[in-house]
Chain A
């Protein structure tokens, strides 16, 4: 393949994924300007490393892996919130969902087992984004890649350089933590004052 073919392939691949790159970058950095910088930097690094892409069918996970690695090396330190700093995602690698649920409060479990039908009517987009942004990075990244961008567990493992089983565990805990955050954001039930 000629250099111009390679450049055309790369350009088409970036164009196809630019919205997804930006969406993931935005959830990683939580800042518009940083997300744009991160995408631009990742695209530059990806082009420099294009010869390392052995299988062009794997372009998408390869590109997002470079985005994620660029985030870790250049942006992570400034985007970590204090409550996340001490969280060790590796501690949860053997989680099963029943065990996770058993760790939760009774009030949350009652809601989890029978959430209100009107829940989504009251849920604002910004509340959902806020709940996503509250997740520790290890879980936020997995939930965004799988649930928002449609990566498989194997592709997500490739992007993050972790085992597929770890993706599975992080999905369970990430989704549980997300729903807990949404549950905590719910408006308090109206009280009867009479």
Chain B
């Protein structure tokens, strides 16, 4: 059964949880149990998720055609 880990331990686990690096099922369950009972940490996690999504959309770029052609030419020479 999950127990409340409190905000300080939850904060320490924020990024590991968000980045899929919290592997122990019991640790995940404890973290999620805390989120269910702490409005502040829940809001913060939602904010972090939204920021991640925004970063992915903003900082992912398509490579320019010129670069694709340049790399294609390099590949032809290899």
Contact = CB atoms under 8 A, between A and B. Distances in A.
Interface in B21-78: 21, 40, 43-44, 47-48, 50-52, 54-64, 66-68, 70-71, 74-75, 78
Q: Chain A interface mostly helix, strand, loop or mixed?
A: helix
Q: Chain B interface mostly helix, strand, loop or mixed?
A: helix
A21 interface: yes
Interface residues of A, number: 47
B44 A113 contact: yes
A18 B68 contact: yes
Contact-residue size bin, chain B (C-beta under 8 Å from the other chain): 35 or more
Contacts of B74: 40, 43-44, 47
A123 B53 CA distance: 13
Contact of A120 (B11, B14, B54): B54
A44 B76 CA distance: 12
Contacts of B19: 146-147, 152-153, 171
B37 to A, nearest CB: 16
Given A97-B11, A115-B47, A144 B71 contact: no
Interface of B: 8, 11-12, 14-16, 19-21, 40, 43-44, 47-48, 50-52, 54-64, 66-68, 70-71, 74-75, 78
Given A120-B51, A120-B54, 13 more contacts: A7-B75, A10-B78, A18-B67, A18-B71, A21-B63, A22-B62, A36-B67, A43-B71, A97-B12, A97-B14, A132-B55, A152-B20, A171-B15
